């Protein structure tokens, strides 16, 4: 009979979370490189290049692929013949592994989990607790799948209780535009069908643990209804032209996964959960011989890609930028930013707007400044800041008009599209919204030369920082006239794909 030791579970979970923080799965790298090689939209191709370069840098430097190091989800399959040499519960073992991983001094991972979700939302400081699913199965081993899921992609999850006669394909295609680009495409879509509401969601999440193999499926052909759905949806989602980072292009998804389960005759539960460009998961088996061994991949698995700004790049001094200069930018322009840049995301924006509502002065002057929507990872060694990629900008939409009207803010930087409310405010105040690439956090951080907290230190990673940046690459996403590249880009490429069809 196999005996599984408590420390082996803890150490294996901790090692796995560190491992996936800086190593993409090989199948993801291969699929992303294939998308890079066939992409025809220069802006999308540039975004994919940044993601691949960032991935290689993280694999080399053992630093997080994304500043959002995720909420941890663990699937544990326990063999019924296993015995435990443990004093802790299985959940406590897993959570102790999470705690040790996220607090490891050599590679600190950002703590993003908040307790009291509809109350104080106090950070637990160690990213516990994890979301843990258990299953008892025949056998004498323990199989564990560990995944770290970013909040931006998780926020785009969808669920519906369809009528039995409704089309799953039609519903999925209806949801894709609503999801926008906040889930950082290209990535994967996990779809769960059947069971009950909670079962469909679990199936969708679990499907994302499977390797990318859509091209192999295309070559051999579908043998089940779920495989038929995968092939049909893969083609039709990519025909939307949304493209990398929502900029328009040939590849929106790298794969579609579908898992199903028997359901009630009156129901058809369907769930979608996307995996972003920071796809992070690993699987290991404990057989009583010790902690899991996770072999480091070869750097030869990564393509040798370099990033260059290109000929039409505009260099911008954030310390001297003028309203006239901002109004000269057009959607799709590539800018290299240098100078002093403020940061602030959800909690900081809410606090600032509340202070303005009470007639209080803000602790930092925003007039003529740009604010970067980011919650960085803590630095290690000589770093000015840890990985510091953008967070989803639409969460700040409801604050945008107040910030522009009452502070003199000149512009914002984030990831993905802005909604109508924010675009109208940007147009009315002749401001600008710039987009950094989601999934390239470590690459972006190389442009940050100094960092200091200037307000709201109690908010941790959501505090307001001031960064000194040098040649930070961004794309003009919404110009001073309210024109959005996230509207024009996908529309253009949807037409191109249709004509190529």
Return all residues near 117 (Cβ < 8 A) that are at least 6 apart: none
pLDDT of residue 22: 97
Span 168-197, mean pLDDT?
Answer: 97
Span 405-423, mean pLDDT?
Answer: 97
Encode burial over 30-59: b for 16+ CB neighbours within 10 A, e otherwise: bbbbebbeebebebbbbbbbbbbbbbbbbb
Q: Rounded to whole angstroms, how far apart are CA atoms 472 and 407?
A: 24
The closest alpha carbon to 469, from 393, 388, 408, 404, belongs to: 388
Q: Is the pLDDT of residue 461 over 90?
A: no
pLDDT band of 309, cuts 50, 70, 90: low
pLDDT in tens, 190-208: 999 999 999 999 999 999 9
Strand partners, 472: 337
Span 439-462, mean pLDDT?
Answer: 94
Q: Is the peptide bond before 129 cis (omega within 30 degrees of 0)?
A: yes
SS3 of residue 179 by DSSP: helix
pLDDT of residue 307: 75
Q: Of the given ranges (106-115, 173-182, 241-250, 307-316), which has the lowest mean pLDDT?
A: 307-316
pLDDT in tens, 16-59: 999 999 999 999 999 999 999 999 999 999 999 999 999 999 99
Q: Is the whole-model pTM more than 0.85?
A: yes
pLDDT in tens, 235-292: 999 999 999 999 999 999 999 999 999 999 999 999 999 999 889 999 999 999 999 9
Contact (Cβ atoms closer than 8 angstroms) between residue 286 and residue 4: yes
More confident residue, 470 or 308: 470
């Amino acid at each position: 009979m196999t005996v599984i030791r408590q420390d082996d579970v803890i150490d294996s979970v901790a090692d796995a979370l560190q491992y996936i923080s800086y190593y993409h799965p090989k199948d993801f790298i291969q699929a992303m490189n294939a998308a890079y090689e066939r992409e025809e939209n220069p802006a999308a191709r540039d975004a994919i290049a940044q993601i691949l370069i960032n991935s290689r840098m993280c694999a080399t430097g053992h630093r997080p692929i994304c500043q959002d190091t995720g909420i941890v989800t663990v699937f544990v399959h326990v063999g019924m013949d296993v015995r435990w040499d443990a004093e802790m519960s299985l959940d406590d073992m897993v959570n102790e592994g999470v705690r040790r991983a996220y607090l490891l001094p050599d590679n600190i991972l950002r703590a993003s989990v908040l307790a009291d979700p509809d109350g104080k939302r106090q950070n637990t400081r160690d990213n516990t607790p994890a979301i843990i699913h258990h299953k008892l199965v025949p056998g004498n081993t323990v199989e564990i799948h560990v995944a770290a899921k970013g909040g931006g992609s998780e926020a785009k999850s969808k669920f519906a209780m369809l009528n039995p006669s409704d089309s799953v394909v039609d519903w999925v295609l209806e949801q894709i535009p609503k999801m926008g680009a906040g889930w950082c495409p290209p990535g994967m879509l996990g779809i769960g069908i059947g069971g009950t509401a909670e079962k469909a969601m679990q199936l969708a999440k679990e499907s994302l643990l499977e390797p990318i193999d859509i091209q192999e499926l295309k070559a051999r052909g579908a043998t089940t209804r779920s495989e038929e759905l995968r092939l049909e949806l893969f083609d039709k989602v990519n025909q939307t032209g949304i493209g990398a980072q929502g900029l328009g292009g040939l590849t929106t998804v790298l794969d579609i996964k579908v898992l199903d389960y028997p359901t009630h005759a009156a129901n058809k539960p369907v769930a979608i959960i996307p995996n972003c460009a920071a796809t992070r998961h690993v699987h290991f088996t404990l057989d009583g011989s010790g902690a899991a061994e996770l072999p480091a991949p070869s750097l030869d698995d990564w393509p040798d890609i370099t990033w260059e700004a290109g000929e039409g790049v505009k260099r911008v001094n954030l310390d001297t930028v003028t309203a006239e200069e901002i109004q000269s930018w057009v959607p799709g322009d590539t800018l290299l930013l240098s100078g002093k840049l403020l940061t602030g995301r959800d909690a900081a924006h809410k606090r600032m707007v509340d202070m303005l509502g009470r007639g209080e002065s803000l602790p930092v002057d925003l007039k003529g400044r740009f604010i970067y929507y980011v919650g960085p990872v803590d630095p290690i060694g000589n770093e000015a800041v840890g990985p510091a990629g953008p967070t989803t900008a639409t969460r700040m939409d409801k604050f945008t008009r107040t910030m522009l009207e009452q502070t003199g803010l000149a512009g914002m930087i984030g990831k993905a599209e802005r909604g109508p409310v924010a675009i109208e405010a940007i147009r009315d105040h002749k401001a600008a919204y710039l987009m950094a690439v989601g999934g390239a956090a470590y690459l972006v951080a190389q442009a940050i030369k100094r960092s200091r907290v200037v307000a709201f230190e109690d908010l941790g990673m959501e505090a307001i920082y001031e960064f000194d940046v040098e040649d930070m690459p961004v794309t003009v996403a919404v110009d001073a006239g309210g024109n959005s590249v996230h509207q024009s880009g996908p529309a253009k490429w949807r037409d191109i794909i249709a004509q190529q069809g």
